[in-house]
Structure 1
Amino acid sequence: MADWEIWLTIVALAVATAATRASFWLVGHHIHLPKRVHEVLRYAPACALAAIVAPDLVLAADGHAHLALSNLKLVSGVVAIAFYAIRRNMLETIIFGMAFFTALRLLHIF
């Protein structure tokens, strides 16, 4: 691939990204979304985060599901979810989950 093709690709992707993001600013006030769509969009960040985090908790390095107590990420994730169900504080959950995961790794419990 020639240098000009690489730069053309970078510029095209930058324009496409800017156009899709700016479209909401340019025409967003002309488009009215139904109330139901607004309610559903509230859950989009949580769904995106779950889609990113869940595979990391479940999959082993070889790409296969690893559902055992020896999977420290999965155990820590389940404990963090239980902690969040009790405390309802996201920052505390992140800190607790990472501390729990680190403790499991350092103590070699499983």
Structure 2
Amino acid sequence: MSDTATLLTIVLMASATYLTRIGGYLVLRNRTLSPRAAAVMEAAPGCVLISVIAPNFVSDNPADLLALAITFLAATRLSMLPTVLIGIASAGLLRHLIG
């Protein structure tokens, strides 16, 4: 039963993500965005990422705090994808090593 619920959750989350993306495309496909609107649209993925990692700022887990510092350093030097990969890898490794 648990496997069915997990699979259904994954399918529904993927569907929600896809529908959000395709919906945005359908709404904006025939419009020309102003430079300000384009800047807001480009900043949105970063805002979502921050909302996901922001709770770690108040964590009392040393592994999470170290991973956050490593991710911050990576973000000052690298683009989004390598920063995300470094953040995920460092969090997983540090949680495994430190607990």
TM-score (norm 1): 0.50
Superposed displacement of residue 107, structure 1: 2.9
Aligned-partner Cα distance in 2 for 1:48–1:101: 18
How many pairs align? 80
The CA distance in 2 between the partners of 1:48 and 1:98, in whole Å, is: 16
Q: Which has the higher contact order (CA 8 A, sep 6+)?
A: 2
More helix, by proportion: 2
- Bigger radius of gyration: 1
TM-score by length of 2: 0.54
Give % identity.
24
Which of 57, 61, 78 is the aligned partner of 2:69?
78
Report the RMSD for the aligned CA atoms in angstroms.
3.3
- Alpha-carbon deviations, 1:10-48, whole Å to 9, x = none? xxxx9xx69x927426xx41x433222112221011112
Gaps of 5+ in 2: 1-15
Distance of aligned partners of 1:24 and 1:73 in 2 relative to their CA distance in 1, 3 Å threshold: same
